[in-house]
Amino acid sequence: MIVGMTTVFAILLIVINLGKGLIVLVNKYAPEEIVVKKQVAPQRQTATSAPAAGITNQTTAAIVSAVSVMTGGKGKVVKIEKL
């Protein structure tokens, strides 16, 4: 039983290290493509100016604030639907 558990543990360590090595190789030789964003004219209508039916302005503001905080200002609320 000790030999079997040691063998399994050793094989798992080998698999983990091979996986990490593969990640390093892929990141080194095939880096992520940089996507250039096109600048779009700002939209006048936002989620805060046109809330969905049954959702108050306070709730909409709370959702927009939460998304902004959680995404570090990169996220944007486009549409809110009440389920």
Beta carbons within 8 Å of 54's beta carbon, 6+ residues apart: 82
Each residue's pLDDT tens digit, 11-50: 999 999 999 999 999 998 887 777 777 776 555 445 445 5
Greater confidence (58 vs 82) lies with: 58
Looking at the structure of the chain, the number of domains it has is 2
Q: Is there a domain that residue 37 lies in?
A: no
User: Are 59 and 82 members of one domain?
Assistant: yes
> What values do phi and psi take at 30, rounded to 5?
-135, 70
Examine the pLDDT at 52 and tell me if it is beyond 60. Answer: no
pLDDT of residue 41: 56
Instruction: Name the pTM for this structure.
Output: 0.40
User: Are 53 and 27 members of one domain?
Assistant: no
Q: Is there a domain that residue 38 lies in?
A: no
The parent domain of residue 10 ranges over 1-32
User: Are 49 and 83 members of one domain?
Assistant: yes
User: Are 3 and 25 members of one domain?
Assistant: yes
User: Are 28 and 5 members of one domain?
Assistant: yes
Q: Is there a domain that residue 60 lies in?
A: yes
Examine the pLDDT at 51 and tell me if it is beyond 70. Answer: no
Cα separation, 38 vs 46, in Å, equals 20
Among 11-15, 25-29, 63-67, 73-77, the minimum mean pLDDT is found in: 73-77
